[in-house]
Amino acid sequence: MVSRRQLLAGLATTALTPLAKEAATGRPIIFVSPHPDDETLGFNVQLWRHVAASRDVHVLTLTRGTATRVRAELNGETTPVWWKVRHDPTLEGYAPLSETAVGTARMAEQQAACAAVGIGADRIHDAKLQDGKVTVAQAKAAIIALADRLGADTGLWAPSYLVDNHPDHLAAGQAVQALGREQPTRFWDRRYVVARPYWSDPRLAQIAGEVYASAANATERDRTINALRCYGAWQPQRGAFAIGMHSVPETFTALLADPKCLVHKD
């Protein structure tokens, strides 16, 4: 058995969209995504794995990610790390983006990415919380509101409640952890993913539960790569602005080369 040290050394009020009318198959699973792209960057191979296992997979998007610095990049105010030259909206054929427009574009990217791993738009739920200001209480309320509509036994996946620096990610993970403590029978199956930039973070040693890498088989790899590519689509005249790739190009590049996620339990 590979030790945790060896493993880590090898890893460099809520508004929801309507549920689908068709009958759900398998046990429902909620993947809590603080922003559009976190579902693919964090859970990646697990999304298709659960779809392929006939689970009733749902993505709960807490915010639309409108506070991203990428808005200034797309509006030509700053130079993007990924694009390397300043955008010129007039020349490139689009109007400067408002926060609302950024949110709409990000949700469109997420919808395309989820479709690539077999998750329809009817399974994406928009909680419309404030980007960068998500609280544990708000995240819990959003999760419960959706879980109440799905059934008593609902699996929960979220970003790590400990190994992350983004407050929205931590709030999502801590909300899932709290629900497990408060309702252990109902939410007995809880998993957390560590974002790629934290795979060597010393805080991993503080996690009491199992930590394991979830590498992809051939189909999971192809599905995940296609989902990741959706965040790099650039066609501004049609509302595609590659916001995900503009935001964290290094993470996307690393996962495109080697799709996998790092998972831990409580």
Give the pLDDT confidence of 187-237 residue by residue, as tens digits.
999 999 999 999 999 999 999 999 999 889 999 999 999 999 999 999 999
CA-CA-CA-CA torsion sign (260, 195, 19, 115): negative
Q: Where are the alpha helices (H) located in 88-182, listed in sequence order? A: 89-92, 99-116, 136-150, 167-182
In tens, the pLDDT along 97-125 reads: 999 999 999 999 999 999 999 999 999 99
pLDDT of res. 152: 77
CATH of domain 27-264: 3.40.50.10320
Residue 11: the pLDDT is 43
Task: Tell me whether residue 90 is exposed, middle or buried, using C-beta atoms within 10 angstroms of its C-beta: 0 to 12, 13 to 18, 19 or more.
Answer: exposed
Asked whether residue 12 carries a pLDDT value surpassing 70, the answer given is no
